[in-house]
Chain A
Amino acid sequence: MYPDPRVIDFVTQHFVPVRVHVKDNAADFRRLGDRFDAHWTPTTLIVDDTGTERYRIEGFLPVGDFLSHLALGLAKAAFARQDYAAAERQYRDVLERFPDTDAAPEAQYWAGVSRYRATNDAAALKATGQAFREHYQDSAWAKKASVWI
């Protein structure tokens, strides 16, 4: 994943990257593994500047899927800091850039929630429920959004 220029660009643009290696950094691997309950490789965590984990990717993913989850993690971090406008923008970016990935239906769900949080307008949830009738109908997120229609 990491040698791919798209991943290099995305990581360089959005993150402070730190790697702990199971053998070469064994002490840090154990210490940080215990702290974050991460005991398998590859495990990739998105951590905010308070040290709080905001997103987790476990196991290998092909480049496109990996990028989609990194982008989803950015959106989740924005949601967690209650920057709902940025969160919606970033969730919709996942939908536009990675529409065929597993991250997309989750992004569609949370984009609607972010809009609702930003506006307090329940129409945002209804519109999201309706959007799942057109895309990602078979996803678990469609079931969760079905209550909004």
Chain B
Amino acid sequence: MANQIQWGRDFDAALAAAKGKLVLLDFSAAPM
């Protein structure tokens, strides 16, 4: 199990690579 989520930063690249998977797009103000 991963010990943290590996957040991507580029939504368009994630969408292009998703290929049948779902993208979880998180709009956040939490400390990075």
CB <8 Å contact, B5 and A47: no
Report whether over half of chain A's contact residues are helix, strand or loop; otherwise say mixed.
mixed
Bitwise, B14-25 to A at CB < 8 A (1) or not (0) is: 110111111111
CB <8 Å contact, B9 and A16: no
| Known pairs A5-B1, A8-B4, A49-B18; A18 contacts B23 (CB<8 A) | yes
Interface size on A, residues (CB 8 A): 42
The CA of A54 and the CA of B15, in the complex, are separated in Å by 14
Give the interface centre of A15, A38, A40 by most chain B CB atoms within 10 Å.
A15
* B interface residues with partner A (beta carbon < 8 Å): 1-11, 14-15, 17-30, 32
